[in-house]
């Protein structure tokens, strides 16, 4: 096939249409959010006698943060005789001893606390939760990952929704303890804000399916059992169980005004590891539950939104295809005249790119109505990072498609809060190293060539529009490769952003 073949252009346009389709879905979420955001749920009534709550803390090698977690749990504004605390420890390092001492302190304070240690990590986090639930005394299970720091009033603001016996799960919105730690954490916070504030609120309050985020939520034990329990055939057991429970008729509630703060990954390798697990797990769940969704009796609009949600990470495969099609298209696009060019390209550009900007700006305006504009300088980097992560995440999608099994790789957390940075680079916890940064670096050089060539040929608009590609690939690759240097410093990733939390 010659480079000038129209098939290059046709393939290029089809990929862009696919990406534009997911962009259109983002705009639908923005619309649903605007329409339903004010429909705040209220408890059916208040408990006269507060229910017993079992707090489940799944832990695996979290020596930097587990003490902080236990301290915050001990400060919850809830009767001690109505709390059971389970530390579900699968650790293989000194975390186990830290947990043991922490549980002893809780017991000395009068708490019903226990540490359940497994030496066999069967099922990873899902296996730990499944095992711990066998010994849970409470009908309500409050699940917290090790890097979360719940506010004291979180239970008082959430448990009363369970007076409605049809409610199976309550999810709170994640906050960010170290949002302003560096550029990467600022961008991650924007990514998560879009998902947690817009997507979760829009889906839940418009009657669509939405999912448990794996932590900072409360489950009804009977709901978990009715849905088939925790299963560990995917890397996102939270999403899997959520869909199975809602298909059984259980109702979920998302409380966007109840925030539970957590720590964001501060280095690129940790972020990539987390994103790889989430992306791969979502495709595994897609393969597992999408047929059941379409066979169910739920309305068509719910099926369609669930399909868009579960397949959204296939966009990374499209993005990789686009990377291989951009350069041939620069030289092979048929000349249909300026009107046809604009009629075809402007709508595609709007839905594929502008929709992303609208989505994240809307989220920041909702969460920070008076200071949202301060986040605007990070938007170009957010777009670039999304492109730069395409290789890492497309690899995860392909692994899920072909059933390549990998373990549950934890994301290293270092106990970094908003104010203190600590000497986190000396930690023994490191994300897994792969060859992905090398591939990203090669992509960065290739797109640098494409941008320079476009500029030299006076195609200024193309050069500007393509600039996020080399920036994104260089950012993700160099941030990872710099960790291999003796100093361990990351020029792009570890630069402190000392501005105050907005």
Q: Which residues of the chain have pLDDT under 50?
A: 1-4, 418-421, 487-502
**Measured distance CA(180)–CA(187) in Å, rounded:** 10
> Would you say the C-alpha torsion 342, 346, 349, 351 has a positive or negative sign?
negative
**Measured distance CA(154)–CA(271) in Å, rounded:** 27
> Would you say the C-alpha torsion 331, 332, 337, 340 has a positive or negative sign?
negative
**Measured distance CA(150)–CA(462) in Å, rounded:** 47
Is 77 a known active-site residue? no
Please report the pLDDT score of residue 492 as a whole number: 40
- Minimal CA–CA distance to 421: which of 178, 251, 147? 178
Per-state percent for the chain, helix, strand, coil, to nearest 5: 55, 10, 35
Is 93 a known active-site residue? no
* CATH 3.20.20.70 correct for 49-312: no
136-185: per-residue pLDDT in tens? 999 999 999 999 999 999 999 999 999 999 999 999 999 999 999 999 99
Q: Which residues pair with 56 in a beta bridge?
A: 86, 143
Contact in structure between 243 and 209 (CB atoms under 8 Å) = yes
The residue annotated as part of the active site, out of 90, 240, 267, 269, is: 90
Sequence spans of domains, the chain: 49-312
The residue annotated as part of the active site, out of 145, 193, 238, 493, is: 238
Q: Which residues pair with 255 in a beta bridge?
A: 172
CB-based contacts of 101, cutoff 8 Å, min separation 6 = none
- Minimal CA–CA distance to 47: which of 73, 78, 75? 78
Please report the pLDDT score of residue 488 as a whole number: 43
């Amino acid at each position: 096939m010659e480079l000038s073949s129209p098939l290059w252009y046709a393939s290029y346009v089809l990929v862009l249409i696919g990406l534009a389709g997911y962009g259109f879905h983002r705009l639908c979420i923005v619309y649903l959010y605007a329409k339903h955001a004010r429909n705040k749920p209220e408890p059916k009534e208040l408990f006269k006698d507060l229910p017993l709550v079992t707090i489940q803390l799944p832990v695996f090698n979290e020596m930097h943060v587990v003490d902080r977690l236990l301290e915050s749990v001990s400060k919850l504004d809830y009767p001690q005789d109505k709390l059971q605390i389970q530390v579900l420890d699968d650790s293989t390092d000194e975390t186990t001893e830290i947990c043991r001492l922490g549980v002893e302190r809780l017991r000395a304070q009068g708490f019903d606390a226990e540490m359940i240690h497994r030496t066999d990590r069967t099922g990873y986090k899902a296996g730990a939760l499944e095992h711990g639930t066998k010994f849970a005394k409470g009908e309500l299970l409050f699940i917290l990952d090790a890097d979360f720091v719940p506010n004291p009033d979180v239970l008082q603001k959430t448990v009363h929704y369970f007076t409605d016996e049809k409610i199976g799960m309550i999810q709170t919105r994640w906050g960010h303890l170290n949002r302003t730690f560096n550029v990467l954490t600022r961008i991650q916070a924007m990514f998560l804000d879009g998902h947690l504030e817009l997507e979760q609120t829009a889906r839940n309050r418009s009657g669509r399916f939405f999912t448990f985020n794996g932590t900072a939520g409360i489950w009804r034990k009977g709901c978990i059992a009715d849905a088939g329990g925790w299963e560990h055939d995917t890397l996102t057991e939270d999403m899997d169980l959520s869909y199975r429970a809602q298909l059984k008729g259980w109702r979920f509630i998302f409380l966007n005004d109840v925030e539970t703060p957590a720590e964001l990954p501060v280095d690129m390798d940790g972020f990539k590891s987390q994103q790889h697990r989430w992306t791969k797990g979502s495709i595994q769940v897609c393969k597992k539950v999408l047929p059941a969704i379409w066979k169910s009796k739920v309305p068509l609009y719910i099926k369609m939104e669930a399909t868009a949600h579960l397949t959204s990470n296939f966009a990374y495969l499209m993005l990789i295809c686009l990377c291989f099609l951009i350069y041939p298209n620069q030289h092979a696009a048929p000349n249909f005249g300026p009107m046809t060019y604009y009629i075809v390209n402007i709508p595609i550009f709007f839905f594929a790119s502008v929709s992303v900007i609208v989505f994240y700006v809307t989220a920041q305006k909702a969460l920070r109505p008076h200071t949202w504009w301060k986040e605007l300088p990070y938007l170009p980097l957010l777009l670039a990072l999304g492109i730069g992560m395409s290789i890492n995440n497309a690899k995860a999608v392909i692994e899920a498609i072909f059933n390549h099994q990998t373990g549950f790789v934890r994301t290293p957390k270092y106990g970094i809060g908003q104010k203190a940075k600590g000497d986190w680079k000396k930690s023994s916890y490191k994300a897994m190293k792969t060859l992905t940064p090398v591939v990203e670096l090669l992509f960065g050089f290739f797109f640098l060539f494409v941008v320079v060539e476009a500029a030299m040929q006076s195609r200024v608009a193309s050069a500007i529009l393509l600039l996020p590609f080399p920036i994104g690939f260089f950012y993700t690759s160099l941030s990872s490769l710099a960790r291999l240097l003796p100093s361990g410093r990351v020029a792009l990733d570890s630069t402190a952003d000392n501005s105050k939390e907005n």
